[in-house]
Copies of this chain bind each other. A is one copy, B any other.
Amino acid sequence: MKTKIEISARHIHLSKDDFFALFNLDQMQVRNYLNSEKGAFASKHTVEIVGPKGRMHNIRVLGPFRDKSQLELAKTDAINLDINAPLELSGSGVGARVRVVGPKGEFIKNIAMIARRHWHISNTLADKLKLSTGKKIKIKIGGERSLIFENVIVRVKPEFNNYLHLDTDEGNAAQINKEAIGEIILK
């Protein structure tokens, strides 16, 4: 079966407290809603990230607020910044130390991670395929840099549309720019 693939560029999720510390604001302004999850959005706000070896500007803040802030980088980003970011499932709460700078304040927290590739699916599709959160599947991507990603983690939520998420290293290794279609291998 086929699924849509979406490439996630580096971005940050913020708790309400951390957002206030950086922007001195109580609410985010929505720039555009995301395809992959109902209610999730790219905000109008960006931060700067500072590591021992470099800095990156215009890191997009995604909403809504989360209980805990999380900075998602590609491994290339982490190497460029010289941050030893671990490979983690989104929401694990584990991350490397990084400085986050906003227009009204800054903080240093252990929130930098590299996201494991994962497939967001709705409960409807999960039931149909007899899959549940934490199961692993593979995805085959065609084209000039065709490849098969293994160890893709399934994540199930009612508000998920069916999208497989890769980071920019994975997307570039497969010659995908922003969106593509892949073939799920359930094995």
**A residues whose Cβ falls under 8 Å from a Cβ of B:** 74-76, 79, 87, 116-117, 144-151, 168-170, 172-175
Contacts and interface: CB of A to CB of B under 8 A. Distances in A.
A49 to B, nearest CB: 15
Complex copy number for this chain: 2
Nearest to A87: B144
B175 A87 contact: yes
Secondary structure of the A contact surface, majority rule: mixed
A120 B146 CA distance: 19
A144 B148 contact: no
Contacts of A146: 150-151
A144 B151 CA distance: 7
B145 A148 contact: no
A76 B87 CA distance: 19
